[in-house]
């Protein structure tokens, strides 16, 4: 197996995530996957452990760890279940712009609701007509005295049915395109704010994915995050912060599929010997390891760049794209190595294969990541 040096802090977090995964997640997660149900109790245990607060400042109640430590923690959690891992990582995506650009009052709300009370957050950007084209958001926020009135729908929102805080991107001036967007901090329970349809997904079924409805939702002008007209930049900052997390989750998922495949090919006998004895199988395993390890290096590198305060948009897109493509390929190959059994629900790789697909789509499709990389070359 490829080798990495982890700090003591990282080793402790990996051990913590492994113990949590083995004790709380592994025994029951297949049932949640089958029912398409959010494992609320398990996630609440993780919230009590502070898994939503890893790389946020201690002065505001965060754990004060590095982004690299957060990534290795999400990687380990994802070996057990990507839905559980993403409940915490997407909370980080949503609150990142608030912790960077928010007012002290907004940071204090995050401190109380997310870190102290142990809550989830949602990043509310996507709409039916604004997927990859996030500048095309139609949800409106109209100024009314010292308030804004929000109207519209957001879809495919991770954690939406359970979150306590929502970072909502809405148009304050439609004539200005993406420069007319503004980010708002909306709290659960705001009048007129409700959870709509819950999605029934192919994989990633333990993650809560819902529509959110804003029907004349009144928020104070103090809820504006990062200034009026800066919503697109807040959204891009959230995604810059979140894409390495998604890369880390994909690495963990791929690693789990590889480990399952290695175990299986050593046990499975055909033609009177383990199928691991075949060079064709060995080369598949080697390729799987090389893909995951390359992806891991890219994810760790971008996390280290974040920790050093360097610009990471392009590196983040590269890492997210490579890691999630690697996870899809490795999970597909793991199913192939299991043969017919790999396609059956009794064996673990069927779920990993279904779970892998979403990561080529979520937090920016891999086509969008390639667009970001290509634009950086051509500009
Ligand atoms: N950081 C800071 N600024 C950025 C930026 C970044 N990463 N990316 C773009 N900008 C700035 C640009 O510099 C430009 O600024 P100026 O106008 O001042 O020059 C401005 O934003 C507009 O940029 P573009 O012209 O590049 O904008 P675009 O409309 O062409 O879109 C895009 C760019 C990269 C395609 C962007 O729309 C994008 O990332 N789309 C994908 C959206 C996405 O990832 N959605 C997933 C949602 S979340 C989710 O998956 C679910 C969940 O629950 C987590």
| Interval 118-130: pLDDT, tens | 999 999 999 999 9
For ligand 1, pick from 86, 89, 134 the residue to mutate: most ligand atoms within 8 Å of CB. Answer: 134
| Maximum Cα–Cα distance across the chain | 80
**Token digits for 307?**
């920790």
Q: What is the CB neighbour count within 10 angstroms for residue 283?
A: 10
| pLDDT score recorded for residue 350 | 98
| pLDDT score recorded for residue 315 | 98
Residue 310 pLDDT > 90: yes
Residue 360 pLDDT > 90: yes
CATH 1.10.540.10 segments of the chain: 8-119
245 lines ligand 1 (CB under 6 A): no
CA of 126 to the centre of ligand 1 (A): 12
- 3-class SS at 346? coil
CATH 1.20.140.10 segments of the chain: 233-378
pLDDT digits (tens, 9 = 90+) for 11-34: 999 999 999 999 999 999 999 999
Residue 1 pLDDT > 90: no
**Token digits for 224?**
């504006």
CATH 2.40.110.10 segments of the chain: 122-229
Mean pLDDT of the chain: 98
Q: What is the CB neighbour count within 10 angstroms for residue 263?
A: 12
123 lines ligand 1 (CB under 6 A): yes
Q: Is 363 a catalytic residue?
A: yes
User: Which residue owns the Cα nearest ligand 1 atom 19?
Assistant: 179
Under DSSP, the state recorded for 180 is G
Write out the DSSP string of 190-240. Answer: -TTEEEEEEP--SS-TTS-EEEEEEEEEEEEGGGEES-TT-HHHHHHHHHH
8-119: CATH number: 1.10.540.10
Mean pLDDT of 43-49: 98
Top-tier CATH class for 233-378? mainly alpha
pLDDT digits (tens, 9 = 90+) for 315-354: 999 999 999 999 999 999 999 999 999 999 999 999 999 9
Q: What is the CB neighbour count within 10 angstroms for residue 217?
A: 23
User: Which residue owns the Cα nearest ligand 1 atom 26?
Assistant: 372
Is the domain spanning 122-229 CATH 1.10.287.3510? The answer is no
Task: Residue count of the chain, please give it.
Answer: 379
239 lines ligand 1 (CB under 6 A): yes
Grade residue 267 by pLDDT with cuts at 50, 70 and 90: very high
Residue 273 pLDDT > 90: yes
């Amino acid at each position: 197996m490829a080798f990495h040096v982890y700090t003591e802090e990282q080793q402790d977090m990996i051990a913590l995530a492994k113990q949590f995964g083995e004790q709380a997640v592994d025994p029951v997660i297949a049932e949640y996957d089958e029912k398409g149900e959010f494992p609320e109790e398990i996630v609440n245990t993780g919230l009590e452990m502070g898994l939503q607060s890893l790389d946020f400042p201690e002065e505001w109640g965060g754990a004060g760890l590095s982004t690299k430590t957060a990534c290795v923690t999400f990687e380990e959690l994802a070996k057990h279940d990507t839905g559980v891992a993403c409940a915490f990582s997407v909370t980080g995506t949503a609150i990142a712009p608030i912790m960077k650009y928010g007012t002290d009052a907004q940071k204090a709300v995050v401190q109380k609701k997310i870190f102290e009370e142990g809550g989830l957050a949602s990043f509310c950007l996507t709409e039916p007509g604004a997927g990859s084209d996030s500048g095309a958001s139609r949800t409106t926020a109209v100024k009314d005295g010292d308030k804004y009135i929000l109207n519209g729908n957001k879809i495919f929102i991770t954690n939406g049915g359970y979150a306590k805080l929502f970072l909502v991107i809405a148009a304050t001036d439609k004539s200005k395109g993406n420069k007319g967007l503004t980010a708002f901090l909306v709290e659960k329970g705001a009048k007129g704010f409700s959870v709509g349809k819950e999605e029934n997904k192919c994989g990633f079924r333990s993650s809560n994915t819902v529509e959110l409805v804003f029907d004349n939702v009144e928020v104070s002008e103090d809820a504006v995050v990062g200034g009026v007209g800066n919503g697109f930049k807040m959204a891009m900052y959230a995604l810059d912060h979140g894409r390495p997390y998604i890369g880390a989750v994909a690495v963990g998922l791929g690693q789990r599929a590889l480990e399952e495949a290695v175990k299986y090919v050593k046990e499975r006998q055909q033609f009177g010997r383990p199928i691991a004895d075949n060079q064709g199988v060995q080369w598949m395993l080697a390729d799987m390891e090389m893909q995951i390890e390359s992806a891991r290096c890219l994810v760790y590198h971008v996390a280290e760049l974040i920790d050093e305060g360097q610009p990471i948009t392009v590196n983040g897109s590269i890492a997210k794209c490579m890691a999630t493509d690697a996870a899809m390929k490795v999970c597909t190959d793991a199913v192939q190595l299991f043969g017919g059994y790999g396609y059956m629900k009794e064996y673990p790789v069927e779920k990993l294969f279904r779970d892998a697909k979403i990561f080529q789509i979520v937090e920016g499709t891999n086509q969008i990541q390639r667009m970001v990389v290509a634009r950086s070359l051509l500009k």
